[in-house]
Structure 1
Amino acid sequence: MKPFLQAENLSKRWGELMLFENISFTVFEGAKVALIAKNGTGKSSLLDLLAGKESPDEGIITLSNDVKMGYFEQIPDLNPNNTVIEEVFESDNEKIKTVKAFELAMAHNKQDEITAISAKMDELNAWAIEVEIKQILTELKINFLEQKVSELSGGQQKRLALAKVLINQPDLLILDEPTNHLDLEMIEWLEAYLEKTKSTLLMVTHDRYFLDRVCNEIIEMEDNQIYRYQGNYSYFLEKRDERIAMQQASISKAKNLMRTEIEWMRRMPKARSHKAKYRVDAFQDLKNKASQNIREDKVEMNVKSARLGKKIVELEHVSKSFPGVKLIEDFSYKFQRFEKVGIVGKNGTGKSTFLNLLTQTLTPDSGAIEIGQTIKFGYYRQEGIAFDPREKVIEAVQKIAEFIHFEDGTKMSATQMLTHFLFPPETQYNYIEKLSGGEQRRLYLCTVLMQNPNFLILDEPTNDLDIMTLNVLEDYLQSFAGCVVVVSHDRFFMDKIVDHLFVFEGEGAITDFPGNYTVYRNKVEEEEQQKAKAEAKKKAEAKAKSEAVAKPSQPQTKKKLSFKEKREFEQLENEIPELEEQIGELEDLLNSGTLKHDELYEKSLQLDDMKSQLDEKELRWLELSELG
């Protein structure tokens, strides 16, 4: 395998903070690599170094000759004065330049230019890349080509930057949180695109389904050590547990051995001089190993929630529109105690508007929303809150409460609470501006939960949080003694948390779906397959009818089944009902709510495979039945 990118003994500080020190790894051609590390350990800084945006304090980065790199950053570097079409096609690639000229000529209906450029497109064989570019733009909903970049929202700019990187088809693709600001359909498309791409891939993402399906190698950065796992996210979890168990066992063994070595080392120097020197040296290694403290920091979030009364939140015939856009129409619902609802839908269908109606930030055009007297909202907004960057971490928390009360009746100081949220005492007195984006998100989460809400509203809570924090947040929400409403593009997170979904269909329609996201997507895909099958059958019948009309005088000779085909037909008549029964049982199991998230994923894949088998068998049965 050819090494595309090599990092040797890299170190980087940010002010007084050491992000990472003396780390080394290689990305080989064709690999699809994910980088996993806790927030604040310098993942984005490392990608900046690898992409040549920053320089390491120490170490060497080597990019193989003629390797073209594309870098998608968390904060896009775009020219605000360009139109979208000018920015997205900014490239040194002659084919892409020609496609850009063609699109501009088409946009302004310049017929002479269209004819001339079309000839050049033929010459360069650029039509295939033009089709792929249009697909990327369509899937990422980039249809505002004449608009200035400066006029776009933050989410639109992120999608534009992603499209620009993909269109250039680099040999090495570096992506920093590519799924943020994408809706679920876009994420699923990007997932499929990256699975098929020939580009070598290095990315940071917290989307665990994305990791599992796209990546074939995981690099974990922990305590200035690099651990490599040749497999996807599921494999990483399994092997990481084994690694930690082995380290803990090794430390325990070292501590036992150390007792005898300490006794020996304490003997008189005269006795020691007769021993081999290697044993003295080995003792120091043993001491270092035994003194290691292998533990996993966890964010403990068993914060007390306020008591819930009988009335929670009730919506009656609620409607909300903005000029030219109908978002919610005649929606009624009564929330029950302890329920957890996920909200899904395309961007612009009213998800955030719905949350603002719940919290009475917005008022409905018609209908009523009644809030129970005991309800205390905790609202984690997508845009976060504007911390004062010159304020210290501890000061931001102390503004809310000096002490936080817990379910078991105990209380904790603001300093102790921050320590639980992985902000050690030395970090608590840092200025907020020194925190990474993920650390600021974790701090924001802390300030929301410590207010003891009993109705949590979470708008894209997974953005910029590391996987370790997400795991603990999920555990907290599963045992949370209150209601939860969550908007998230993280399918793994939704599958673990929600009992049912509000599906925002567009044009004001909201459907209450009884199940989590994977169950919902399976149902949608099944309906799409059935629709496609019905349309294909309709076309085939229409074609057969037209052919029969065109050739009425030709005698129809019917081919008879061979002995082998008869046996196959009989076998299919037995297999199809059995397979339908197995599919029904599996669907019941998926809808039961008893499966763990990893079992749910595995069974969903199994269901897809069984449905594909059923489709094939039914088509074959139809073919044979027409002959029999």
Structure 2
Amino acid sequence: MSKIEIKNLTFGYDQQEQPLFDHANLNLESTWKLGLIGRNGRGKTTLLKLLQGQLPYTGEINQQLAFVYFPQTVPDPSATTYDVIDALSPNELWQVQREMNLLKLSDDILWRPFQELSGGEQTKVLLALLFSDEDHYPLLDEPTNHLDMTGRQQVAEYLQAKQQGFIVVSHDRHFIDQTTDHILAIEKNQLELQQGNYASYQQQKNRQDNYEQQQNTKLKKDISRLQTTAREKATWSFSREKDKYGDPRIKGSGAIGDTGRIGARAARVMQKAKNLNRRMENEISSKQDLLKNIETVDPLGINFQPTFHKQLITAKNFQLSYQDQPLFAPLTWQLNQDECLALVGANGTGKTSLIKALLGQFTGETVGELELPRNSQISYLRQNYEDNHGSLTDFAEENQLDLELFLNNLHKLGMPREVFRSKIESMSMGQRKKVELAKSLATPAELYLWDEPLNYLDLYNQDQLVTLLKEQRPTMILIEHDQDFIQAVAQQTVTLHAEKQ
């Protein structure tokens, strides 16, 4: 068993006002199955890079481990999967095949070009490569991206069965629940390490947040009471001073009664008022850490333009094919105004191809009917958005976006203001995903086509989308592998089944 000891770790990027880590201290065991969680931009991937010695920092990171990182960079995606494995793996092919079999992968994919594998198949191949190397400690960064529901469950069971420890970053709460026995949360102002899975961490955090909210409410009431009392005593003291010397604003007024006694009492009351103010300041100071780790999110906006059409899309015995090979069995369904329809099915059954057909971009053969109103305004959120580039302002102008809505949504999604000055191509993958999402939300549309919107989004962003879609009810076709999200926002589901040969 090895340890990872972090002492007084401090690190921040040049463009950031505050460091991501400020004199952080941690002790981790290499036998743990550690889930690394936190909002986008908090430093999860950065911490993995720091462990690998890829970034400069102050402080100490002491460990005797050799790390291996997922996802690996594939040097030539056009090569066969066999050649990719041969180029990346230090082990024998049979060792990789052993892990592939555990991940339910057929050996047939070895002779297919790696780039032609589905996203889920590529993920499983890279995981098989990773875990075939038992001499290195795995660092898994978002392994659930592009995995369908079956694939996520297969990978979760695969990691459950592993005897070795690892660190995994994921925003899929069920996946983290299934695969981890410790949680490291990068919160707003601290690192929180707990034994257990995500559910136990969330339960403890909810208790802490509720306690801090209650204490904050009590503090506000106490401060309000002290402020009222201080004002009353200061007002009384001032009025007594007027009785002692007379009001200089009124000609002929003068002192009444025992001015010494009045002055002494007024001074005592004024001192009490000052003491109350000092006590109030002390209470505020003593409670200044309250709410420091409570996450808050603002509601998102959407440029939805409802149409007069009650029925937007009709599919009758519709089917897509490539070279006479059907992607899925014939489908019949319809999408009405204000409905969200979820397309579900295993990777490779043609869900994205169906969206391409709706956009008029499918290059294969079609059978049956697929109808939607002419000149419909459509907003498309893509899986791949590497072609987004330039400044945010130029990007918004180029895509004819409502600039204020676009930038406001980016900020509400958690993108720091200082990143607004960066070029899109230099942003992290999570930030680039938010640009694509904010673009879709700011595009005036009657119909939204969203292809895996949750990839790279943290749990708070996911909850924002649930709230938005439930409240605004934009007409939408959605591809997603998160069952909870589908159940929360979709009024109907259409399952694509591979056509039997």
Report the alpha carbon displacement of residue 461 of structure 1 after superposing the two structures with TM.
1.0
Whether 2:363 is the aligned partner of 1:371: answer no
* Other-structure match for 1:245: 210
Q: What is residue 120 of structure 1 aligned with on the other side?
A: none
1:555-566 counterparts in 2 under 5 A?
A: none
Is 2:113 the counterpart of 1:174?
A: no
Q: Is the 8 A contact 1:22 1:224 kept in 2?
A: no
Whole-Å separation in 2 of the counterparts to 1:157 and 1:45: 24
Aligned length: 453
TM-aligned CA deviation for residue 32 of structure 1: 1.9
Give, in whole Å, the separation in 2 of the partners of 1:471 and 1:284.
32
Task: Look up the SS of the partner of 2:380 in the other structure.
Answer: strand
CA distance change for structure 1 residues 435 and 316 in 2, over 3 Å: closer, same or farther?
same
The aligned counterpart of 1:225 is 190
Q: Which residue of 1 aligns with 2:246?
A: none
- Residue 100 of structure 2 contacts residue 128 of structure 2 at CA under 8 Å; is this kept in 1? no
Q: Tell me if structure 2 keeps the 8 A contact 1:171–1:200.
A: no
Where does residue 339 of structure 2 map in the other structure? 339
Of structures 1 and 2, the one scoring higher in RCO (CA 8 A, sep 6+) is 2
Measure the CA separation in 1 of the matches of 2:474 and 2:14.
42
SS of alignment partner, residue 71 of structure 1: strand
Residues 312 and 371 of structure 1 are in contact (CA less than 8 Å); yes or no, is this contact kept in structure 2?
yes
**Residue 87 to residue 444, structure 1, CA distance change in 2 (3 Å):** closer
Rounded Cα–Cα distance in structure 1 between residues aligned with 2:434 and 2:382: 13
* AA in 2 matched with 1:307: P
1:383-406: CA deviations, max 9, x gaps?
136221xx22244235445747xx
In the alignment, is the contact (CA less than 8 A) between 2:402 and 2:443 conserved in 1?
no
Residue of structure 2 equivalent to 1:48: 49
Q: Are 1:196 and 2:188 an aligned pair?
A: no
Question: Which of 447, 465, 478 is the aligned partner of 1:473?
Answer: 465
Match of 1:133 among 99, 120, 125: 99
- Is this contact kept in 2: 1:327–1:508, CA < 8 A? no
Pick which of 429-438 and 36-45 moved more.
429-438
**Counterpart in the other structure of 1:77:** 73
Match of 1:432?
424
User: What's 2:177 paired with?
Assistant: 212
1:493-508 residue pairs with structure 2 within 5 A? 493-507=485-499
CA distance in 2, matches of 1:329, 1:505: 6
Shift of 1:480: 3.4
Unaligned runs of 5+ in 1: 104-128, 405-411, 510-628
Query: Superposed, which structure 2 residues align to 1:276-355 within 5 Å?
Result: 286=286, 288-289=288-289, 296-308=295-307, 309-323=309-323, 325-328=325-328, 330-355=330-355
Q: CA RMSD in A?
A: 3.8
1:461 maps to 453
**Counterparts of 2:312 and 2:196 in 1: how far apart (Å)?**
46
Percent of aligned pairs sharing the same letter? 23
User: 3-state DSSP class of the match of 1:185?
Assistant: helix
Stretch deviating more after TM superposition (367-376 or 281-290): 281-290
Q: Which residues of structure 2 form unaligned runs of 5+?
A: 231-266
Q: CA 1:196–1:144 in 2, change beyond 3 Å: closer, same or farther?
A: closer
Helix, strand or coil for the counterpart of 1:482?
Answer: coil
Q: Distance in 2 between matches of 1:147 and 1:39?
A: 35
Q: 1:393 to 1:84 in 2, by over 3 A?
A: same
Partner Cα distance (1:504, 1:239) in 2:
40
Structure 2 contact 4–29 (Cα < 8 Å) conserved: yes
- 1:473-512 deviation digits (Å, cap 9, x = unpaired): 1222223323322212223322333344322221279xxx
Report the Cα distance in structure 2 between the residues aligned to 1:344 and 1:38, rounded to whole angstroms.
Answer: 27
Map of 1:531 onto structure 2: none
In the superposition, the TM-score normalised over structure 1's length comes to 0.63
The AA in structure 1 aligned to 2:382 is R
CA distance in 2, matches of 1:455, 1:438: 25
Cα-to-partner distance string for 1:51-94 (whole Å, 9 max, x where unaligned): x151341122222x4x5544213xx23443976335536655xx
Q: How many angstroms does 1:207 deviate by?
A: 1.3
Name the CA distance, whole Å, in 2 between partners of 1:355 and 1:150. Answer: 21
Query: What displacement does 1:299 show?
Result: 4.4
Number of the residue aligned with 1:19:
20
Tell me the SS of whatever aligns to 1:9.
Answer: strand
1:537-556 map, 5 Å: none
Shift of 1:449: 1.3
Q: Which residues in structure 2 correspond to 1:77-156 (within 5 Å)?
A: 77-80=73-76, 84-85=81-82, 87-88=84-85, 96-97=91-92, 100=93, 132-136=98-102, 139-141=104-106, 143-146=108-111
Distance 1:239 1:394, change over 3 A: farther
Higher helix share: 1
